[in-house]
């Protein structure tokens, strides 16, 4: 399954077009390597996503073609979630 589709089906990102855009900007890593939207994922892979001021690292537990809202969370496990502070310019 493509990473953009996984992010949409798992409801980590609401729209596939947004998932493609986020991956296109280099904000998605798969197993420590920057991933394109077309990169294939498999069970056991680790994904790191940078959203504005936070980073979320997940482990893929299942690949499903479609899910109900209550089942989407069963597709992944959150390993860590970190808030990123903006660095102030030093003079």
Per-residue pLDDT at 90: 44
Q: What is the pLDDT of residue 79?
A: 92
CATH code, domain carrying 65: 3.10.290.10
- 10 Å Cβ neighbour count for 24? 12
Cβ-contact 62, 74 below 8 angstroms: yes
What confidence category does residue 91 fall into, taking pLDDT thresholds of 50, 70 and 90? Answer: very low
Judge whether residue 64 has pLDDT over 70.
Answer: yes
Q: What is the pLDDT of residue 30?
A: 93
Q: Does the pLDDT at position 7 exceed 60?
A: yes
Which of the four pLDDT bands, split at 50, 70 and 90, describes residue 87?
low
Write down the pLDDT at residue 42.
Answer: 92
Average pLDDT, the chain: 87
Q: Tell me how many domains the chain contains.
A: 1
> What DSSP line would sit under 41-91, residue for residue?
--TT-EEEEEETTEEEEEEE----SS--HHHHGGGEEEEEEEEPPPPPPP-
Paired sense of beta strands 54-60 and 46-51, if any? antiparallel
Which range of residues forms the domain containing residue 67? 3-83
Q: Is position 51 within any domain?
A: yes
């Amino acid at each position: 399954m493509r990473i953009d589709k996984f992010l949409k089906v798992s409801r980590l990102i609401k729209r596939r077009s947004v998932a493609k855009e986020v991956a296109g900007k280099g904000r998605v890593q798969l197993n420590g390597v920057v991933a394109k939207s077309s990169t294939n994922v498999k069970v056991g892979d680790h994904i790191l996503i940078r959203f504005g001021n936070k980073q979320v690292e997940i482990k893929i537990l299942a690949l499903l073609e479609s899910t109900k809202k209550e089942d989407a969370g069963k597709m992944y496990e959150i390993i860590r979630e970190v808030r990123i502070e903006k660095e102030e310019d030093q003079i």
